[in-house]
Structure 1
Amino acid sequence: MNIHRAIDRIDAGPRFTAHDAVRLNNLFRGSDTETMLDGVLSEGLAGEVAAVSSFGAESAVLLHLVGRIAPSTPVLFLDTGKHFAETLAYRDTLISHLGLTNVGVLRPRAGDLAARDPNGLRWSYDPDGCCELRKVRPLARALSRFDASLTGRKAFQASTRAHLPRFEIDTADAAGRLKINPLIDWDAARIARYAAEHHLPAHPLVARGYPSIGCSPCTRPVAPGEDARSGRWAGWDKVECGIHRPGEEPFL
């Protein structure tokens, strides 16, 4: 029996509550990722959904899954102006390889940069402020018209992500937007197997020791045995850009 025919659509208006997140986590407990994504993207259980992608080290897997299930799903990419050239080239490669047709490129407002980062060096003394300008604000504006967003977060990437659920409320959004983590329970081996089985191109920096790839000034290669995200903002007391908050309360 199709699981989605056995339930009523969760309908909490344009946004969601913690209770809705709990219901969705319970509904899809034990379901595979494809079944969950089908319910979210094809059957409207989370309203209007956008995928947020960095086109980073493991982005191809989620984008491939989304493309197979609902290829018209909007994909949002934050062009911070500080990306590695390899990331921008990889973005274009994946768009072509996967046949993505609804990719939106988000950029910081010129006025914000002129007022708060005129020389482009804010990352060197205030990485939180740089991320706020170049990531958090542009994404918040874009997501205001959506009810939920898909992320590529996975539990194995860092201790701060180890206990996240599939569905949670976006604590950065007072309106109650859902944040959905389809791959949260995938480990590195499963990611690699899926990419190999589907012949997905790899980000060129992965082979050079970058398992997690952000902006070029704030990302270094990772040593063996370190968390995959330990190369992000090395030397700073910072583990997330502000789009995701390390203290987010999981709704299990």
Structure 2
Amino acid sequence: MPLKELAERRNILHRKSDAQTIVSHALDDIQIGRVALVSSFGAESVVLLHMVAQANPDTPVLFLNTEMLFPETLTYQREVAKHLGLSDIRVIRPSRARLMERDVDSILHTIDPDACCALRKTEPLAEALAEFDGWITGRKRAHGGVRAALPLYEKQDRKIKVNPLADWDTARIAAYMDTHNLPRHPLVARGFTSLGCTPCTTKVAEGEDPRAGRWRGMEKTECGIHIVDGKIIRQESAA
């Protein structure tokens, strides 16, 4: 079955399903194939990590260590994985040879942030996902921009991408964390509502969009991981 048709059929099938059901079915869907969770272990990541752990704690979880992350994120990643009993955490890093060739001084983000994201995020993730037929993400329509019309299932290149939390908002995320007594990322309490690499992430003021602190002052709003047909999608508002 063509992947676009498969995604459309799953959107119809799961239009009234809850997020946990979508996660569980995606992990066992023989028509999709082998599925991994891609997680930043960021501000809201623990919700989806918990759902995956409930469905199958042996699910491969791909964590991108760009080597520019906050130390708190690295500690949080280890603590959450242990807390939830996730047994297959795969820490993905950029190629050492490519770093030496393209960003030996670690200043590429100041010159060409898209190129930096490609080097440290998009390329390593694409290579790590090569063995999988689909992947689960934590994207949400509430983040706005092109995400406002986010489907539960979508085709990206030659894979199926699953967005179980597409219709969740911040209040629902917080309520789920409270219900299941899940650990918060320590930087959230300090005003970081969306977390990426240290040079490109700032605190968010009250009333600002949750992703306003990502690439502040730039046209850039996406790292490039969530791309369509290999192209980064520019947005009018933060997403």
TM-score after normalising by structure 2? 0.93
Report the Cα distance in structure 2 between the residues aligned to 1:68 and 1:109, rounded to whole angstroms: 33
Q: Say which SS state the counterpart of residue 104 (structure 1) adopts.
A: strand
How far apart are 1:111 and its partner, in Å? 0.8
**Residue 79 of structure 2 corresponds to residue 93 of structure 1:** yes
Q: Let me know the Cα RMSD of the aligned residues.
A: 1.3
**Residue 15 of structure 2 corresponds to residue 26 of structure 1:** no
Whichever residue aligns with residue 150 of structure 1, its letter is: I
- The question of whether the paired residues in 2 share the 8 Å contact of 1:158 and 1:228 is answered with no
**Residue 207 of structure 2 corresponds to residue 221 of structure 1:** no
> Could you say which residue in structure 1 is the equivalent of 2:216?
234
> Could you say which residue in structure 1 is the equivalent of 2:122?
136
Specify which of 119, 122, 132 is matched with residue 146 of structure 1: 132
> Could you say which residue in structure 2 is the equivalent of 1:184?
166
Q: Percent identity?
A: 51
How far apart are 1:72 and its partner, in Å? 1.1
Report the Cα distance in structure 2 between the residues aligned to 1:198 and 1:226, rounded to whole angstroms: 27
Q: Say which SS state the counterpart of residue 144 (structure 1) adopts.
A: helix
Report the Cα distance in structure 2 between the residues aligned to 1:199 and 1:44, rounded to whole angstroms: 33
Unaligned 5+ runs, structure 2: 235-239
Report the Cα distance in structure 1 between the residues aligned to 2:155 and 2:28, rounded to whole angstroms: 21
How far apart are 1:159 and its partner, in Å? 2.6
Report the Cα distance in structure 2 between the residues aligned to 1:206 and 1:194, rounded to whole angstroms: 16
Alignment coverage as a number of residue pairs: 230
- What are the Cα deviations for residues 102-139 of structure 1, in whole angstroms up to 9, with x where unaligned? 00000111110011001001011111010000001100
Specify which of 55, 61, 66 is matched with residue 69 of structure 1: 55
Whichever residue aligns with residue 97 of structure 1, its letter is: H
Report the Cα distance in structure 1 between the residues aligned to 2:64 and 2:181, rounded to whole angstroms: 25
> Could you say which residue in structure 1 is the equivalent of 2:37?
51
> Could you say which residue in structure 2 is the equivalent of 1:159?
145
How far apart are 1:157 and its partner, in Å? 2.1
Whichever residue aligns with residue 196 of structure 1, its letter is: D
Specify which of 76, 99, 111 is matched with residue 97 of structure 2: 111
Specify which of 88, 102, 106 is matched with residue 102 of structure 1: 88
TM-score after normalising by structure 1? 0.88
